[in-house]
Amino acid sequence: MGSIATEIGSVYGRVYLYLLVAALIPGLALAGLTGCGQGSSGGAEGKEGGETLTILAASSLTYGFGELAGTFEEQNEGVEVKQSFGASSDMLAQIQQGAPADVFASAAQEEMNTAVKDDLVAGKPEVFVKNREIVMVPKGNPAGIKEFRDVADHGVKLVLAQKDVPAADYAIEILGKANAEYGSTFKQDVLSNVVSREADVRASVNRVVVGDADATFGYASDYTPDIRNKVKIVPIPPELNIIATYPIAALEDAKYPGLAKKWVELVTSKEGQRVLEKWNFEPAA
């Protein structure tokens, strides 16, 4: 008996017990929820609507598209907009691996071009907004970055999104251009300050928001209201800056091609442009 008690008292026994309890409660709740969900969607199946438009978009579009999703759902009764945001490269990878989605909105032409080349896109992609890069520093500005060239100062803790994420690739491009202006070691100096490569832009911006990083490169659209009391913008001189163009397209394997087209129309419409401008994007035209 003693050995059984020790077995139960062993780490596995405890973990199982905890996991069981931990899994049981949300599990039961989930079972209840999905039960309800199935019931209601089952009922809506025959009716018009009950459709879900799935959008994969660059993480910089999180707020702008979030607001437009509300507008879209109002305009199309019974339609639910489901969005997933992440690095454009990541979203592209998901589409390439067959993730079920209707629309792809990328923060760079490159990802969209790949999608077109792989025959994943229906029709021609449209550029719907532009965005410019900025440098963001914590409000307290611990590294004392007053102008763009200060990001090369020794000891600045700089965070970038990881390689192939458009925001980071643009940053590298900008640094290359800046070499001509600030001296040939500028880019190298800045890159030697990088302490972390994050999964996407929002993650790298959040490093500045929590104050662990001294600076990051992001988009103007990442300077969202919720973080304005925590971060400051250091502008990049316009002659060095790069204007990111955002293409959008309905996908070849879209389950709801009609809705996908409608979404692209909304985003490029006057109203859509007005909403996106509100979130610091620049109109495409």
Partner 1 sequence: MKRRDKDGLSPRFPHGSDTLASGLAVAALALLVGFVSLPLLSLVVWTVDKGAWRAMASPVAVDALLLSVRTTAITMAMLLLVGTPAAYVLARADFRGSRVINALIDIPVVLPPSAAGIALLLAFGRLGLVGQYLNVFGVTLSFTTAAVVMAEVFVAAPFYIRQAATGFSAVDRTVEEAALVDGASRSTVFFKVTVPLAFPALVAGALTAWARALGEFGATVIFAGSFRGVTQTIPLAIFAEFQRDLDAAVALSVLVLGFAFTVILAVRHLTARTTGHRA
Q: What residue ranges bind partner 1 (CB under 8 A)?
A: 3-4, 6-7, 9-11, 14-15, 18-19, 22, 87, 89-90, 93, 142, 157, 159, 162-164, 194-199, 207, 210-213
Question: How far is Cα 266 from Cα 129, in angstroms, rounded to an integer?
Answer: 13
Q: Is 162 exposed, middle or buried (0-12, 13-18, 19+ CB in 10 A)?
A: middle
CB of 220 to partner 1, least distance (A): 24
Measured torsion, CA atoms of residues 214, 219, 222, 227, in degrees rounded to the nearest 10: 30
CB of 137 to partner 1, least distance (A): 13
Q: Is 129 exposed, middle or buried (0-12, 13-18, 19+ CB in 10 A)?
A: buried
Question: Which positions ≥6 away from 12 have C-beta within 8 Å?
Answer: none
Judged by CB, which is closer to partner 1: 87, or 190? 87
Please identify which residue in the block is written with the tokens 């979404």: 263
CB of 3 to partner 1, least distance (A): 6
Question: How far is Cα 117 from Cα 111, in angstroms, rounded to an integer?
Answer: 10
Judged by CB, which is closer to partner 1: 4, or 285? 4
CB of 113 to partner 1, least distance (A): 16
Judged by CB, which is closer to partner 1: 215, or 220? 215
Judged by CB, which is closer to partner 1: 90, or 282? 90
Question: How far is Cα 150 from Cα 265, in angstroms, rounded to an integer?
Answer: 42
CB of 179 to partner 1, least distance (A): 23
Judged by CB, which is closer to partner 1: 131, or 206? 206
- Residue 13 three-state SS: helix
Judged by CB, which is closer to partner 1: 1, or 285? 1
Q: E-strand spans in the chain?
A: 52-58, 80-86, 103-105, 121-138, 158-161, 194-198, 215-219, 231-234, 243-251, 282-283
CB of 19 to partner 1, least distance (A): 7
Return the half-sphere exposure (C-beta side, CA atoms, 13 A cut-off) of residue 37: 6
CB of 234 to partner 1, least distance (A): 19
Judged by CB, which is closer to partner 1: 22, or 243? 22
DSSP 182-233: H-TTHHHHHHTTEEEEESSHHHHHHHHHTTS-SEEEEEGGG--GGGTTTEEE
